[in-house]
Amino acid sequence: MIEIHNIHKSFNGVEVLKGIDGVFETGKTTLLLGASGTGKSVLLQCIVGLLKPDLGSITYDGKVFTNNRLDLKQEIRRKIGMLFQGSALFDSMTVQENVEFPLKMLTPDMTRDERMERVDFCLKRVGLEAAHKKMPSELSGGMKKRVGIARAIAPNCTYLFCDEPNSGLDPLTSIKIDELIYEITKEYNITTVIVTHDMNSVIEIGDHIMFLHDGLKVWEGSKDNIMDTNVKDLNNFIFANSLMRAAKRVEDEGGEIDKL
Amino acid sequence: MKTLGNYLLFLSSQFVRGESLKILSRRFIDEAVLIGISSVSIVAIVSTFIGAVTCVQIAYNLTNALIPRSTIGFMVREMTILELAPTITSIVLAGKVGSNIAGGLGTMRITEQIDALEVMGINSTSYLVLPKILAAIAMFPLLVILAMTLSILGGYVAGTLTGSLTPQEYVEGLRDAFIPYNITFALIKSVVFAFLISSISAYQGFFTKGGALEVGEASTKAVTNSIIGVLLADYLCAQVLL
């Protein structure tokens, strides 16, 4: 379980996060939902330690991540797996080497055979058992995301963070990636935090949802009660999302958007 | 001053929670191949022609009959060892190696690969930058020795083929008033240049922000700043060590 308390973050005097609290429970997927520029990715970067919050605390299973004890930070970081928006695969390495990399670096006691066994397992788990020798440049967007997930789970991560896992993917692939993340969360009982602005993800995999607006958490709840909210910003967000999907459907069917 | 402070912090960050010796040595070999072996051809071509041109131009200017022709060999040797081999080689390498380091790290930064390393709990500067600097420090002196040899050979070939001087005169000039310390001086300079080029380029690439355009800008800055650094250090070394 991850707990965040009163997280503040500013850039050049502009306050991006204005005191966010929250709990990310084990075995559940928590979605950080919101429009672009609301501070979702900044919050995620604070939680994983890529940015240091100006104020506030972050606790991983009772261990304070935001203190200055480097050894404790390292210990926590080694339990973190992250899927980046652009996948962030090491482009000089093959798929197999990418997945093997965290094992090589974080578990030096593992033998090569053990590492290979784990790589095979992870790639099979994400449905890429035949891609070992491929370079990242030879993969499609969806395959890159899958390799990113395999790399994240390879060292048996306890916490999985996903930054816009659906960006740049077609709707069908998006659903598959969402399902994969959800299955892995349940299968390994890990704490998963997903940054998204995709309402489809909310419907598919949102155990718990936090809606951010203008650097503040303005709503949280489950996917079952998100439609019943009277928070204006959230309603606008849902409406705009639905409108966009409806417009796209009309366009796909050869209709005119003006008549929507 | 702020940039200098950031640069020094960047350098010191490589030694905080560094990676294991096994990983560093593996990365060092990779980088040594990339920086050293792949630069051999360009260094060989440039130094051979610089030696040849130096010899021909000295011969062209040396019209006084009272000055022995062996002076041409002597001057080629002195110019090559003291200045041309270490400095010109380093300037060429600032273009090749510097832009490669800055471009590579810049691309890793904008595609979040460096963030991925950090999230895994890996010290990205220690893992990515330290092996580059160490490899440059190890390989530059070897490349400079190669450059010295080929430059003097280039001068020999050009001088003898054009009939500017005989092989015996050239060799006599090479042996005349030889100061072994000059080679030590050139190698010390090459180590200083290697450190400056690799660290300045890594600094520029590591802190790239934005997209492809900014990666290009980082590479350009890396090369120009490295060359300025090399020239300043060249003067300081000459002032302090000679």
Does residue B12 lie in a domain region? no
Taking 70 as the pLDDT cut, the residues of chain B under it are none
- Closest partner residue to A105 (CB to CB) among B107, B113, B120 is B120
Do B26 and B134 meet the contact criterion of CB atoms below 8 Å apart? no
Contact B113 A90 (CB under 8 A): yes
- Residues of chain A found within 8 Å of residue B18, distances taken between Cβ atoms: none
- Kindly report the backbone phi and psi dihedral angles of residue B138, in degrees, each rounded to the nearest multiple of 5, phi listed first: -80, -35
Does residue A135 lie in a domain region? yes
Q: Is B120 on the interface with A (CB under 8 A)?
A: yes
Task: Tally the domains of chain A.
Answer: 2
- Residues of chain B found within 8 Å of residue A82, distances taken between Cβ atoms: 116, 119
Task: Tally the domains of chain B.
Answer: 1
Per-residue model confidence (pLDDT) at position A243: 59
Statement to judge: residues A73 and A168 lie in one domain: yes
Contact B115 A105 (CB under 8 A): no
Q: Which of A91, A110, A145 to mutate to test the interface with B (most CBs of B within 10 A)?
A: A91
Statement to judge: residues A73 and A169 lie in one domain: yes
Does residue A220 lie in a domain region? yes
Q: Give the ipTM.
A: 0.84
CATH (domain of A2) = 3.40.50.300
Statement to judge: residues A47 and A166 lie in one domain: yes
Distance CA A97, CA A77 (A): 20
Give the distance from CA A13 to its chain's centroid: 27
Contact B17 A106 (CB under 8 A): no
Does residue A186 lie in a domain region? yes
pLDDT tens profile B163-208: 888 999 999 999 998 899 999 999 999 999 999 999 999 999 999 9
Statement to judge: residues A57 and A166 lie in one domain: yes
Contact B113 A105 (CB under 8 A): no
pLDDT tens sequence for chain A (260 residues): 999 999 999 998 899 999 999 999 999 999 998 888 889 999 999 999 899 999 999 999 988 888 767 777 878 888 899 999 888 999 999 999 999 999 988 888 889 999 999 999 999 888 888 888 999 999 988 899 999 999 998 988 899 999 988 888 888 888 888 888 999 899 889 999 999 888 877 777 888 999 999 999 988 888 888 877 777 788 888 877 765 565 565 666 666 655 44
Does residue A239 lie in a domain region? no
Per-residue model confidence (pLDDT) at position A256: 60
Domain range holding B73?
36-241
The residues pairing with A60 across neighbouring beta strands, listed in sequence order, are: A2, A63
Q: Which of A51, A75, A98, A105 to mutate to test the interface with B (most CBs of B within 10 A)?
A: A105
Contact A78 B118 (CB under 8 A): no
Q: Is B115 on the interface with A (CB under 8 A)?
A: yes
Per-residue model confidence (pLDDT) at position B11: 86
Q: Closest by alpha carbon to B218, among B231, B232, B229, B205?
A: B205
Burial of residue A84 (number of CB atoms within 10 Å: 0-12, 13-18, 19+): buried
Do A55 and A15 meet the contact criterion of CB atoms below 8 Å apart? no
Per-residue model confidence (pLDDT) at position A252: 63
